[in-house]
Structure 1
Amino acid sequence: MAYLNPGAGAAREGKQAAAQADVGALTSAAAAGANPTKAEFDKTVADLATLRTAYNGLLAKLRAAGLLAP
């Protein structure tokens, strides 16, 4: 059902959040053997840190746009 009061509805329209850069290609890959090497593990940790930064950036931008509670 469409909103029947367009003037009042326009005042409540959300604003667009700022753009967030895409996460680059992952640097980790499946472990070659049964157990990952230190280098393989470190790449996974680095990828996780990159994803965490991007995720937190998205949350901050959604809060700044008023789409999430602070």
Structure 2
Amino acid sequence: MAYLDPVAGKAREGKPAAAVTNAAAATATAAAGATPTKAEYDALLADNNALRTKLNGLLTSLRAGGVIAP
């Protein structure tokens, strides 16, 4: 039975993807008033950019590991 063949099983195994660390804690907080300040907006933007970078790194790792299509 082919599925019990350890050599054939090893050949079908995928290669592990590179590790991606967890995203850092958010730095943005709820706006103090009805309209966010520039500092509040900038903190939210920085968090968004950090998460985008983390997601792109994760997708790159998954592609390199053969988990998702390039």
TM-score interval (norm. to shorter): 0.7 to 0.9
Q: Which has the higher helix share?
A: 2
Cα RMSD for the two superposed structures: 1.4
Q: Distance in 2 between matches of 1:12 and 1:48?
A: 38
| Residue correspondences, number | 68
Structure 1 unaligned residues grouped into runs of 5+: none
1:67 — aligned with what?
67
With structure 1 as the length reference, what TM-score do the two structures score? 0.84
After TM superposition, what 4+ stretches of structure 1 lie above 4 angstroms from structure 2?
Answer: 3-6
Structure 2 unaligned residues grouped into runs of 5+: none
Q: Distance in 2 between matches of 1:25 and 1:39?
A: 17
Q: Are 1:21 and 2:24 counterparts?
A: no
Q: Which moved more, 1:57-66 or 1:4-13?
A: 4-13
